[in-house]
Amino acid sequence: MNLRFLSIKFLRALVTLWLVVTFVFVILRLSGDPAEQLLPDDVAPEIIEFYRKQWGLDRPIWEQYVKYFQAMAEGNFGRSFGDRREALVVISERIPYTLQLGLTVFITAMLLGIPSGIYAALHRNSAADRITMSFAVLGYSMPNFFLGILLIFLFSLKLRWLPSSGAGTPWHMVMPVITLGTALAGSIARFSRSAMLEVMNQDYIRTARSKGVRRLKRIYVHALPNAAIPIVTVVGFKLGALIGGAVVTENVFAWPGVGRLLVNAVGNRDLAVVQGIVMLIAATMLVANLLVDIAYGWLDPRIRVAGDDTGR
């Protein structure tokens, strides 16, 4: 693995994280006095003054910025309004639920999306291609919340087969997974199809064909490894987006994950929790992107050798 390539990617990730922290710092300061913002409405003025001192809000703005940075680095996001517990603790209780849902959705969508997209590409304009792509467009256009509600109506209210909300048994996962998985599988299938189509039109595939390489070998040995590069990129981005993307679905099914916590926190203006979740999601996205870059370099020897050359 090219060390230069990795370190550039790592530096970029750090810069992005710095931007996120700065962004939250700026909107926190723009929106008013953080001591009043981060403390509940009903606390006494003396307490606000105490915290203002303690948090250094009477200090110059650059010093506050550095302090804020340190607090973020230590994972100190402040305390939740609700029960006055550390925001980090409140958030981390919810992470396993979001991960459990997200990973199940991700694996299901990949297993469905990638093969069907590749199959559609190899049988272009066949009935199977049309059906797959129609499903992909439908899945992509269907709003999560509407699909979720329709599923609840059918499976919980009418048929009474599945629980409509909460977590606990595998049955609770079925509808959230369908809701999130449909759109994801659709977009993965669409992307896999176009990646595969593009590769199948390349000169080296035609060359392989003219050499008499058999169709299956052309597909598995010549085409797939090349199509894998763009597919891995997009799928990786989707992995990072899963935590954030589940916000709506978690709320439809009252799934006790980070997304539901976020919406409740926004509704209650529980800013300590909100800023913690923003940081968490940013960090997740960055780690996912970094993993994509590593996988990318591993899959594509050109990048491994040339270092950072992403077309910019």
Partner 1 sequence: MPYSVSLSAAFLILMLLVALFAPLIAPFHYEDTNLLLRLKPPSFLGGPEAHLLGTDDLGRDVLSRLIYAIRISIMVALLGTAIGAVLGTLLGFVAAHSRGWSEEVIMMMVDWQAAMPFLIIALAVLAFFGNSLLLFLLLMGIAGWETYARLTRGLVLAAKEQPYAIAARSFGARPLRVYGRHILPNIVSALIVQVTLNFPDTILLETSLSFLGLGIQPPLTSLGLMLGSGRDYLLFARWMTVFPGAVIFLTTLSMSIVGDWARDKLDPTIQD
Task: Please give the structure tokens belonging to residue 298.
Answer: 């591993």
How many C-alpha atoms does 244 have within 13 Å on its Cβ side? Answer: 17
Give the burial string for 277-286 (b: 16+ CB within 10 Å, else e).
Answer: bbbbbbbbbb
CB of 35 to partner 1, least distance (A): 14
Taking the complex as a whole, the smallest distance from the CB of residue 118 to partner 1 amounts, in Å, to: 14
Interface residues with partner 1 (CB under 8 A) are 12, 15-16, 19-20, 24, 27-28, 30-31, 37, 137-138, 140-146, 149-150, 152-153, 157, 190, 193-194, 197-198, 201, 240-241, 244-245, 247-248, 251-252, 262-263, 265-267, 269-271, 274-275, 277-278, 281-282, 285-286, 289, 312
Of residues 66 and 137, the one with the C-beta less far from partner 1: 137
Nearer to partner 1, 143 or 166 (CB): 143
99/248 with CB nearer partner 1: 248
Report in angstroms how near the CB of residue 212 gets to partner 1 at its nearest.
26
Q: What tokens were used for 115?
A: 């093969």
Nearest-approach distance from CB 56 to partner 1, in angstroms: 20
Query: Looking up tokens 């390489």, which residue turns up?
Result: 213
283: nearest Cα among 33, 97, 59, 21: 21
Return the number of the residue (188 or 265) whose C-beta is nearest partner 1.
265
Tally Cβ neighbours within 10 Å of residue 92: 14
Nearer to partner 1, 22 or 217 (CB): 22
Please say which residue, 143 or 225, places its beta carbon nearer to partner 1: 143
State how far the Cα of 124 lies from the Cα of 119, in Å rounded to an integer.
8
CB atoms within 10 A of CB 42: 6
Query: At its nearest, how many Å lie between partner 1 and the CB of residue 21?
Result: 12
Q: Which residue, 45 or 267, has its beta carbon nearer to partner 1?
A: 267
Nearest distance in Å: CB 127, partner 1: 16
| 140 contacts 190 by C-beta, under 8 angstroms | yes
Q: How far is the CB of 227 from partner 1 (least distance, A)?
A: 13
Give the alpha-carbon dihedral of 78, 84, 89, 95, to 10 degrees: -100
DSSP state of 246: T
Distance CA 302, CA 312 (A): 16
Could you give the CA distance from residue 34 to residue 82 in angstroms, rounded to a whole number? 17
